[in-house]
Each structure stands twice: as C-alpha cells, then as structure tokens.
Amino acid sequence: MDKLNNKPVIIIGGAGHGCIIEACIKDNRKRYNDFEWDIAGFCNDYDQYVDGYPVLGKLSDIPSLIDNGYYFAWGIHLIGRNLKTASIFESLNIPDERWATIIHRSAFIDDSVVLEPGTFVMYNAYIAPRTHIGKCTMIKANTNIGHDVNIGAISHIAMGATIVSCVDIGYCSDVAVSSTILANNKIGDYAMLGASSLATHDIPDYEIHVGTPAKFLKRMRED
C-alpha cells in the first residue's frame, strides 16, 4: 500500500455525523481523484453495519485497532450533551498521528490556517487567515469562518454557520445550523449557540443561548 494513499480509516460514530465524513471521503475519491483515505469501516457500540460498511469493533476495541494500523475519524457529537461527548473522546487516548485530518476538496482554507489532527472540513467551507481549528473539530458544509478565529478541540460548527473575525470558541462547543457569531465575541467551553441565532455577546461556559439576538436558554446537561 502506498504510504500516502488509501490509508485505512475507521469512522468513530454512526449514521449521523459519521456518514457525513463517509460522504466526504467518497466524494473526494470519485470527483477529485483524492485517494488519501480509504474507509475500512465504522466503530461504535451499537451497530453491525453503517451504510453498508462493517462496524469493526466497539469503542473498547480501539487499542487493538490501533495496533492493526488503522487511522480514525471522529464522528461523535451529542448535541446538548457536550460533557458526555468529551468524556467519550478523552477515554479513547488515540495518538495524534492516528487521527485522520479529512478535508473536502471544495473547501477554501488559507495557507496560514492551523488544523490540528483529526479536523474534518466539509463541502464549500471557507476558513480565513490565521485561524486555528482544534483537534477533531467538525466544520460542516457551507460554513464561513473569518480571520483570527480560535476554535477549541472536538467542537462542532454546523451547516451554514458564520463566524466573523477575532472570535474564540472553547472546548467541545457548538455553533448550530445557520447561526452567526459577530466579531470579538467568545463562546465558552461546553457552550452552544442555537440554530439560526445571532451572538452579539459572549456566551459563558456550559450555557446554551438562542434567538436574534441570542439570549440565555438553559445550562448544558452535565451527565
């Protein structure tokens, strides 16, 4: 096997976020002749197959899958249960060099952008200069991320979201579908901006804000 192509990747997750990663890899191969990643299957605790691909083990089997030479894509984000998401992620202890950084060929990413291991960037995303994306964060389709933005690890930027310049987003946080964060604001750790909402102010750790302008709705579940 070519060391640069057809690297076997296991998608951790199922038919939600996991299948979006699957679709990205397949489209890159089909339309762009990008054969860096080859889907070996999925890993989760519930299924035998996902989209016709075998589930190659449970989360507890990941150490043996590492030993067998697989790479991994992070496809779990439990909306509204961000602390549970983080707990699952932290329990896996997958080395950085085994996280697959997967980028759809239609995305624009400035050369100065830093993508930490395991970042996923989907179709038609735009990421402006000097932005930093944390480990295993998911950037979904048609997102716009301005310059000098910092996004923490295992966060989730959903379809159509816009993040204006000089924004900080914390660890395992959410920017939901079609929402916007104005410049110079901060989204805390385990925090969420709800769908179609406009953040004109900081959102503290563990808080969910919704609306236009966004206002406090409730605290994030901590179980």
Q: What is the pLDDT of residue 207?
A: 97
List the CATH code of the domain at 7-96.
3.40.50.20
Locate 107 and state its tokens: 């995305």
Kind plus residue range of the DSSP H or E element containing 24: helix 17-32
Fold classified for 102-211? UDP N-Acetylglucosamine Acyltransferase; domain 1 (2.160.10)
pLDDT classification of 223: cutoffs 50, 70, 90: confident
Q: What pTM was computed for the model?
A: 0.95
Q: What is the pLDDT of residue 1?
A: 40
- Four-residue CA torsion sign, 18, 23, 28, 34: positive
The residues, any chain, with a CB within 8 Å of residue 196's CB and separated by 6 or more, are 176, 177, 178, 179, 212
Q: What is the pLDDT of residue 3?
A: 47
Average model confidence (pLDDT) for the chain?
96
What confidence tens digit (pLDDT) does each residue in 69-100 have? 999 999 999 988 999 999 999 999 999 999 99
**Domain ranges for the chain:** 7-96, 102-211
